Amino acid sequence: MSTAPEQQHPRVAVVTGGSGGIGSAVARRLAADGMTVVVHHAGRDDRAREVVAAITAAGGTASTEGADVADEVETAALFDRVEAAYGGVDVVVHTAGIMLLAPLAELDLADLDRMHRVNVRGTFVVDQQAVRRLRPGGALINFSTSVTSLAMPTYSAYAASKGAVDAMTLVLARELRGRDVTVNAVAPGPTATPLFLEGKDRATVDRLASAPPLERLGRPEDVAEVVAFLAGPGRWVNGQVVLVNGGVAR
């Protein structure tokens, strides 16, 4: 049973990147907890509609919204539409992000700039809108990565972009003193999503799967369970980057 403050309205959650592997699992999990879920996409509205269809088939309430998370005008308009449709916002889960890998010496700077725009600026823009609108008892959950501490080769630019997310999360939690809004980040380890598996051969996947003591890759549902806790009953967890990686050593 949730220990979040009682409210007269259904809780409303915006999940950016809600059409992706982890994002869709998060959207379905929050809907299972009784939240109205807005499934954001950045162009693949067909995938977002599939997530909404799965939620509504299970008896939940959901809708789709599209926006470029790094565009402050589009993102503000998205939140305006959500507030107009549902009366407010209680939870924002920012899963949207991209991962482009190469050794630092070989990475195309255009890829660095692209990741910075989506992962850093996009987080800043979404967080800005979120904290301006979240109702008391609300939660903002950003997405980081365990790679910031694992220091895996080829991940330098991606890890750097997520290190910025960590910093924003920790500072923002303290800036919201007195608002009754929690701000945390989850940092998944190797998780079996298309984003993670793309471009990796079987030997690499098997090696990464054997790293945790649980000896498997994470599943999107594993991450979604932690998000649901932070979005609901986990009110005393605030200003944290929560590693969700099955126990992979630093």
pLDDT digits (tens, 9 = 90+) for 53-82: 999 999 999 999 999 999 999 999 999 999
Query: pLDDT class for 250, splitting at 50, 70, 90?
Result: low
Across residues 178-195, what is the average pLDDT? 91
Across residues 31-56, what is the average pLDDT? 96
| Terminal CA-CA length for the chain | 33
Residue 4 lies in a domain: no
Residue 93 lies in a domain: yes
The Cβ-side half-sphere exposure at 38, using a 13 Å CA radius, reads: 27
Q: Which among 241, 213, 204 has a CA at the least distance from the CA of 226?
A: 241
pTM of the model: 0.92
CA distance 126 to 219: 25
Residue 198 lies in a domain: no
Domain count, the chain: 1
DSSP state of 228: H
Residue 60 lies in a domain: yes
pLDDT attached to residue 197:
74
Expressed as residue numbers, the domain containing 35 is 12-190+222-244
Residue 201 lies in a domain: no
**Catalytic (active-site) positions:** 158
Across residues 201-214, what is the average pLDDT? 83
Does 141 or 191 have the greater pLDDT score? 141
Q: Which among 80, 84, 91, 45 has a CA at the least distance from the CA of 66?
A: 45
3-state secondary structure (DSSP) of residue 187: strand
pLDDT attached to residue 217:
86
| CATH number of the domain residue 172 falls in | 3.40.50.720
